Amino acid sequence: MKTLFASVLLLSFSIQLRAEVKDPMPLWPNGAPGALGKEDKDIPTITPYLPEPDKTTGAAMVVCPGGGYGGLAQHEGRDYALWLNQHGITAFVLKYRLGSNGYRHPAMLNDAARAVRLVRSKAGDWKIDPTRVGIIGSSAGGHLASTLLTHFDAGKPDADDPVERQSSRPDIGILCYPVITMGEHTHQGSKNNLLGKDPSPELVKLLSNELQLTKDTPPCFIFHTDEDTAVPVENSLMFAESLRKAGVRFDLHIYQKGRHGIGLADKPPFEHPHPWANDCLFWLKEQEFVK
């Protein structure tokens, strides 16, 4: 009986996680601008996770894992991608360059912007809608996502590279316990990895994304927990306040319980995720990213 029960669980697990995972794609086939070498750490990529064809909604998300700009947390990359696939969203997990490997701003922003452009440029190949391409990031990955949400451009229509002709503006943003500011309430490790240990006041202001919002910033879903001792909840509160002042639509969720780096707070197949996931799905339906 136990063997039968285990087999049923395994079957359920495989059904719910059915997704087509493609090989990682370099963002720049001939090498990234500003690369310090040609090793794996110098080659930013996206890994496509494709939902079942009969479930796809045509929407896509670029996924930015956290890790303090010093590493990449798999549970905020692969796990998020599988969760998005369950709801019909095509996901692209971004491997961006890191401060621990000698990189500083703007390498990380360049990688995120290129990822959004690349997804749009190949929308036909992946059967996605180029007007429904969002970005999701956690912790330092949330800072990277919020940086692109506030530092995007329209692309270069006359560029020789067709990818560079695409806009880097995400259509929506999801920020999970994000680092937002480089000021008083920052996460110091992320700041050091991104900007170095003695950045100029001008650079600190430029990458304090609560100060860079405009009315053109895309709609956002933001969540944080009051118990987060690594990245203060003030980061999300400040970003939401700036969104409000700019007239940008947003959902803000502050939960009493939950540690930093909580992710989906479960293992695949995510039958009992943290409540933020259901709140986010409700919001994604309003944005017409899920059915």
The pLDDT of 246-253, averaged and rounded, is: 98
pLDDT of residue 260: 86
Write down how long the chain is: 291
Radius of gyration of the chain (CA): 18
What whole-number distance in Å separates Cα of residue 143 and Cα of residue 262? Answer: 16
pLDDT of residue 273: 64
User: What's the whole-number average pLDDT of the chain?
Assistant: 91
What is the pLDDT, as a whole number, of residue 17? 54
pLDDT at 41: 98
- pLDDT (0 to 100) of residue 6: 32
Q: What's the rounded Cα separation, in Å, for the pair 86 and 12?
A: 13
Residue with tokens 């899920």: 290
pLDDT of 43: 98
How far is CA 4 from its chain centroid?
Answer: 39
Q: What is the pLDDT of residues 178-222, one digit of tens each?
A: 999 999 999 999 999 999 999 999 999 999 999 999 999 999 999
Q: Among 114, 203, 199, which residue's Cα sits nearest to residue 159?
A: 114
The structural domains of the chain, ordered by start, are: 40-286 (3.40.50.1820)
What are the residues facing 161 on neighbouring strands?
Answer: none
Q: What is the mean pLDDT of residues 256-276?
A: 70
Specify the higher pLDDT residue, 149 or 11.
149
What is the pTM assigned to this prediction?
Answer: 0.91
Per-residue pLDDT tens digits for 13-62: 333 456 799 999 999 999 999 999 999 999 999 999 999 999 999 999 99
